[in-house]
């Protein structure tokens, strides 16, 4: 029995249920002596499963100092001595993975599980959730400008843009106006106050989704520069792969998935040049890429998983592989 094997019901990680874990493992197919990079270590659910599957090494990045602290505790206690030799934690962002992992690459697999963890969502004091009353924070890294800074200092137009583009809420202008009006009376410093300002101007629709959901998503994306981070990782990760290595991304909303889909298709040479004969189709003769789409269509969570974990409902998994015959990797700087 492998000392690192607490799956599939992850009793070591009650705070966060890893989404699409079986599919992630199937794509990565961890191998003995392999090197893996988990750019979103979180509760360590993927990391422990990868380490349990093969006698490999794993480097875990997270921008949240709490996740890194938890990871160190795991490697000291839960993963025991074996863990310390095989699990390495790198505080920082996956957007800077090329620098963080410069001396460690190439990897046999790289994985990103985007968004926030249940640890972050469930702690009221982190300020991510409109369901709980807490400070309006939303900073994964616990540093830099908070959501309260943004909500109280940004112009009405800037707030409307964030809520429209990142929250994809059609009522963005109305919401931004209400925020500016409310903060004129008194600064908006809590999740509860912001949620009630939004709920006053956005009617509850039949979906049952809280009217504050989209605005909170938009603000969280802006506070953490989430799309910028993803773009940087999508540009760098393929070049950190060893020949035969796989890059796996699990995303949770259309803004993320669109970036992943486009970048992977581009790397795989699928968007190189449309065929002259059938416009819109790709001319396979121009595909000389050293990468291939491992998942031509995104994988979705099983019904059993979405029933057990509603967060998995919106998950999409895409994977890109580096061909075994490709040349040695390298990041162009
Ligand atoms: C969904 S959770 C990952 C859960 C993990 N797969 C598990 O099984 O426990 C996302 C984690 O990624 C981290 N994160 C999000 N964006 C990041 C970024 N740009 N750089 C580094 N870490 C990031 C968050 O702090 C959070 O801990």
Q: Which ligand 1 atom sits nearest the alpha carbon of residue 94? A: 20
| Cα separations in angstroms, 230 against 16, 41, 113, 235 | 21, 15, 11, 9
Residue whose C-alpha is closest to residue 23's, from 291, 248, 230, 244:
248
Centre of ligand 1 from the C-alpha of residue 227, in Å? 14
**Which residue minimizes the CA distance to atom 12 of ligand 1?**
40
Residue 151, token pair as written in the block: 């909500």
How many Cβ atoms are within 10 Å of 237's Cβ, its own excluded?
Answer: 28
Rounded CA gap, 263 and 257, in Å? Answer: 10
**Plot region of 244 (φ>0 → left; ψ -120 to 50 → alpha; else → beta):** left
**What was the pLDDT predicted at 5?**
36
Q: Per residue of the chain (333 residues), give pLDDT as tens.
A: 333 333 333 444 457 899 999 999 999 999 999 999 999 999 999 999 999 999 999 999 999 999 999 998 877 665 555 656 899 999 999 999 999 999 999 999 999 999 999 999 999 999 999 999 999 999 999 999 999 999 999 999 999 999 999 999 999 999 999 999 999 999 999 999 999 999 999 999 888 899 999 999 999 999 999 999 999 999 999 999 999 999 999 999 999 999 999 999 999 998 744 555 555 555 554 457 899 999 999 999 999 999 999 999 999 999 999 999 876 555 544
**Which residue minimizes the CA distance to atom 14 of ligand 1?**
40
pTM: 0.90
**What was the pLDDT predicted at 137?**
98
- Identify the DSSP state of 74: I
How many Cβ atoms are within 10 Å of 182's Cβ, its own excluded?
Answer: 19
**Which residue minimizes the CA distance to atom 26 of ligand 1?**
42
Angle at 25 between CA 20 and CA 26, to 5 degrees: 100
Rounded CA gap, 28 and 25, in Å? Answer: 5
**What was the pLDDT predicted at 85?**
83
């Amino acid at each position: 029995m492998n000392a690192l094997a607490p799956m599939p019901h992850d009793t070591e990680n009650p705070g966060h249920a890893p989404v699409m874990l079986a599919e992630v493992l199937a794509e990565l197919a961890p191998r003995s002596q392999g090197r893996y990079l988990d750019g979103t270590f979180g509760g360590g659910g993927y990391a422990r499963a990868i380490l349990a599957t093969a006698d490999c090494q794993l480097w875990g990045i997270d921008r949240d100092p709490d996740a890194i602290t938890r990871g160190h505790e795991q490697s000291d206690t839960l993963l025991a001595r074996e863990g310390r030799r095989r699990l390495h934690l790198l505080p920082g962002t996956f957007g800077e993975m090329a620098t963080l992992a410069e001396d460690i690459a190439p990897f046999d697999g790289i994985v990103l599980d985007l968004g926030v963890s249940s640890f972050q969502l469930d702690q009221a004091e982190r300020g991510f959730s409109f369901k709980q009353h807490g400070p309006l924070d939303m900073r994964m890294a616990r540093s830099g400008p908070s959501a309260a800074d943004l909500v109280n200092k940004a112009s009405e137009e800037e707030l409307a843009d964030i809520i429209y583009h990142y929250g994809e809420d059609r009522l963005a202008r109305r919401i931004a106006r209400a925020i500016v009006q409310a903060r004129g009376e008194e600064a908006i410093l809590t999740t509860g106050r912001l949620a009630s300002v939004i709920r006053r101007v956005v009617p509850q629709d039949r979906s049952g989704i809280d009217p504050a959901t989209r605005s909170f998503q938009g603000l969280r994306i802006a506070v953490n520069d989430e799309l910028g981070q993803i773009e940087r990782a999508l540009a760098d990760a393929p070049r950190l792969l060893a020949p035969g290595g796989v890059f796996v991304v699990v995303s949770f909303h259309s803004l993320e998935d669109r970036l992943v889909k486009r970048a992977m298709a581009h790397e795989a040479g699928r968007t190189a040049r449309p065929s002259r004969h059938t416009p819109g189709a790709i001319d396979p003769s121009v595909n000389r890429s050293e990468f291939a789409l491992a998942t031509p269509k995104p994988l979705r969570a099983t019904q059993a998983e979405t029933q057990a974990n509603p967060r998995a409902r919106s998950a999409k998994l895409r994977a890109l592989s580096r061909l075994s015959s490709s040349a040695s990797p390298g990041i162009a700087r």
